[in-house]
Amino acid sequence: IGEMPLDMQVKLLRVLQEKAYYPVGGTKKMEADFRVVAATNRDLASLIAEGKFREDLYYRLNVFSLTIPPLRERKEDIIELFQFFLYEFSMQYNRPIQAISPNLMHHLLDYHWPGNIRELRNTVERMVVFATDGMINEEYLPFSPATQPKTNPALLGSDLLQLREERDQHDRNVIQHALELENGNKQAAAKRLGISRKTLYNRMHKLNIPISQNKTSSNCDPDAPS
């Protein structure tokens, strides 16, 4: 919203106030019933002071605001987002990733990510494209790890362990919630999660989720481990 030209701001404000608009080339006013979710990475208060953003539109939009910290302040999200994008692009390029360099995650956590999630997404896509042998190395990073501030390896190892535990807890909550929604039906829960039943059992085993903790027990589930 911070990039919207002033003339468009006037039009948007009018629609929000009157809840009606004239279609392009039309002569009949049309009613408008909608909600606006606006986002910006600009300092709107400064833009208002500079006369580049309308103050009345700002207060009209700013009924409820949510501030999302930059990625560099949410290091616990980097691992999860990295894995999400890695899966997305490995599927898109039909390139299974067999291994990841041990130092790679250190560099990702150390980097300041001025481009936030968009930059991380582009970085992962680049690495998947270059990983023709199924191995992702830090040499595929678009930035130079040597130019970054160094993190104490001992502290980073502790941070990584904590981040992995948080990620596992997140996965555990997602699976348990899916099982609850499906009344313990593993096949239905797997379908809801977009994975196979075998993958669901593997994840449950890895995350120490009891197979028979829900209504559907291993006795009535043909794919349950014996």
Q: Is the dihedral of CA 144, 165, 196, 178 positive or negative?
A: negative
36 CB-near residues (< 8 Å, 6+ apart)? 16, 61
> Which pLDDT belongs to residue 10?
95
Q: What is the CATH number of the domain that holds 157?
A: 1.10.10
> Which pLDDT belongs to residue 155?
42
Asked, for residue 223, whether it belongs to a domain, the answer is no
Asked, for residue 191, whether it belongs to a domain, the answer is yes
The pair of three-digit structure tokens given for residue 114, joined into one six-digit string? 């001025």
What span, in angstroms and rounded, lies between the C-alpha atoms of 40 and 53? 12
Q: What is the CATH number of the domain that holds 137?
A: 1.10.8.60
Q: How many domains does the chain have?
A: 3
19-71 confidence digits (pLDDT tens): 998 888 888 989 988 889 999 988 999 999 999 999 999 999 998 888 888 99
Q: Are residues 100 and 139 in the same domain?
A: yes
Domain that holds residue 160: 153-206
Q: Are residues 159 and 143 in the same domain?
A: no
Q: Are residues 108 and 46 in the same domain?
A: no
Chain mean position to CA 217: 33
Distances in Å between the Cα of 222 and the Cα atoms of 48, 52, 136, 197, 219 are 64, 64, 38, 11, 7
Q: 30-31 and 135-136: which strand pairing?
A: unpaired
Asked, for residue 55, whether it belongs to a domain, the answer is yes
> Which pLDDT belongs to residue 58?
95
Regarding pTM above 0.85, the answer is no
Q: Are residues 165 and 196 in the same domain?
A: yes
Question: Last residue of some domain: 126, 147, 168?
Answer: 147
Determine the Cα angle at 137 with ends 131 and 141, to 5°.
90
Asked, for residue 139, whether it belongs to a domain, the answer is yes
- Which ranges in 39-152 belong to alpha helices (H)? 44-49, 55-61, 75-92, 104-110, 116-130
Distances in Å between the Cα of 200 and the Cα atoms of 13, 99, 166, 206, 212 are 49, 22, 19, 10, 13
Q: Are residues 172 and 109 in the same domain?
A: no
> Which pLDDT belongs to residue 7?
95
Give the rounded percent of residues in the chain with a pLDDT score beyond 70. 84
Q: Is residue 197 within 8 Å of 182, Cβ to Cβ?
A: no
103-138 confidence digits (pLDDT tens): 888 889 889 999 999 999 999 999 999 998 888 888
Q: Are residues 140 and 159 in the same domain?
A: no
Give the rounded percent of residues in the chain with a pLDDT score beyond 90. 34
